[in-house]
Amino acid sequence: MPREKGLFSLLLPLVLCLLLLPGTAKALGGYCGDPQVSGGQNVTWTLADGTLTIGGTGAMADYAYSEDNGSTNAPWYDDRASIQTVVVQNGVTGIGNYAFWGCSGLTSVTIPGSVTSVGNSAFRRCSALTSVTIPDSVTSIGGSAFEGCSGLTGVYITDLAAWCRIPFGFGNHYSNPLYYAHKLYLNGSLLTSLTIPAGVTDIEWHAFYNCDALTSVTIPDSVTSIGDNAFYGCSGLTSVTIPDSVTSIGAWAFYGCSGLKSAGPIGSGCDYQFGWTTTIPANAFRGCSALTSVTIPGSVTRIGDSAFADCRALTSVRYGGTEADWRRILIDSYGNDPLTSATVQYNAVTANALEPLTRSGNGAAVTVSLMPGARLMTAVCAAYDADGRLLDAETVALNEGVNDFVYTPRVSGCAKIKVFVVGGDFAPLLPCRELKLY
């Protein structure tokens, strides 16, 4: 017996060394499915060589965080420091609450197209994670799902419409990995010019939060609402076009979009162009702190709550109607002080363009484009002789949209035609166009 004991003592260190060699550690595993389905045995987990694999069919269990000991009850929690890769296999439909909380060494995660939901705090404090691919199948991401994922540099998607429809949990910006990543890749290409696909009706909360690589956004007329903080922090935006179909805009939808310095109707050439002709909805420009000027059509009759809240730089309003018309607009009092404190220019230009004149018979073909809501716009057509003496003049009332007409002088001997676009006080609103007849 003493000899056998001595032999065991000699072999024990050797056995321990063998167990610690790479590839010799014992794999861990068990069940991790929703306990309401097959007792949770429908989904399994294994952890080996730094890779945590989740497989099976159905949703994972939801786990909980304990304030008392600062830990979760996920079965792999005690081994979280060894987890470098998470592979969720096809067939798993939901990633549970707090599933990978605190896996600070996690650098790579695979989410298959079978997953439809990512739970609350699922990847919270996974600070080494550098990128994540969200499949088209995901329809919800829980609150704080990516909180503390400070290493993220890119979010990858393949379906823009599906991304717009994800309701990020509880309106919580930490639920969107873009909060840290700042860069959204569509089919592998960095998204800079964003055109929302036709058919999308809602852009959900926080959809493009902090997406600072975006330079332009075009929204189709299928969209009716833009959620809170949808484009919050998109500091690279210099062009936004919103149709009149959008009747609901959430709080701070464009907060921190410091590249948007002017706003006006579609066709105005402003940074932020809109299609609203009668009602500017609540929160429309809220948080556009760099906005200095806005052009408002004379047809607008109401401006909603906080439409111009926190527009601290706004000093100039160009309005298409008269001062009396302006006073009749119902401007909701809450949050619109920047608008009501700005200087208003009445009967302001709402003409988009007076095109170069072209010859038509003995006269000139004229094209004037007016933005929606244009009022008191008139084209003044004048004919002169070779010495510059006025021979004939005619006025043409203009309507919003494109105005095409031919001006033919009613007298002979005309050498030159000039056309002006003027307002109600006959002040010129655009540079005049000139055409020589001979």
State pTM to two decimals. 0.77
Sheet holding 131-133, edge to edge: 131-133, 154-157, 184-186, 189-190
Roughly how many angstroms between the first and final C-alpha of the chain, as a whole number? 126
Among 33, 52, 59, 36, CA closest to 44:
33
Q: What is the pLDDT of residues 25-54, one digit of tens each?
A: 457 999 999 999 999 999 999 999 999 999
| The pLDDT of residue 230 | 96
- What is the mean predicted confidence (pLDDT) over 294-301? 89
- What is the mean predicted confidence (pLDDT) over 394-408? 91
For residue 380, the tally of other CB atoms under 10 A from its CB is: 17
Q: Which residues in 126-147 are b (16+ Cβ under 10 Å) and which e?
A: bbebebbebbeebebbbbbbbb
Q: What is the pLDDT of residues 139-161, one digit of tens each?
A: 999 999 999 999 999 999 999 99
Would you state the structure tokens that stand for residue 261, as one six-digit string? 């310095």
**pLDDT tops 90 at residue 108:** yes
**pLDDT tops 60 at residue 410:** yes
Lowest mean pLDDT among 83-92, 207-216, 422-431: 422-431
Distance CA 423, CA 90 (A): 66
**Average of per-residue pLDDT values in the chain:** 90
| The pLDDT of residue 352 | 64
| The pLDDT of residue 196 | 97
Q: What is the pLDDT of residues 305-320, one digit of tens each?
A: 999 999 999 999 999 8
Chain-centroid distance, C-alpha 305: 21
**pLDDT tops 80 at residue 246:** yes
Q: What is the pLDDT of residues 2-23, one digit of tens each?
A: 444 444 344 334 333 333 344 4
List alpha helices for 62-117, DSSP H: none
**pLDDT tops 80 at residue 239:** yes
For residue 339, the tally of other CB atoms under 10 A from its CB is: 20
CB 147 within 8 A of CB 177: no
Lowest mean pLDDT among 69-73, 143-147, 261-265, 352-356: 352-356
| The pLDDT of residue 26 | 55
Going by pLDDT thresholds of 50, 70 and 90, the confidence category of residue 169 is confident
As a whole-number percent, the residues of the chain with pLDDT over 90 amount to 77
| The pLDDT of residue 191 | 97
**Looking at beta carbons, which pairs linking 64-71 to residues 24 or more positions away fall under 8 Å?**
64/97, 64/98, 65/98, 65/101, 65/121, 71/102
Distance CA 401, CA 405 (A): 13
Q: Which H helix or E strand runs over 279? A: strand 279-280
Q: Which H helix or E strand runs over 178? A: helix 178-181
Q: Which residues, including other chains, have CB under 8 Å from residue 111's CB and lie 6 or more apart?
A: 88, 95, 118, 132, 133, 134, 135, 138
CB 289 within 8 A of CB 311: yes
Reduce the DSSP state of residue 127 to 3 states and report it: coil
Instruction: For each of the domains in the chain, give its residue range(s) and CATH number, in order of start.
Output: 351-436 (2.60.40.10)
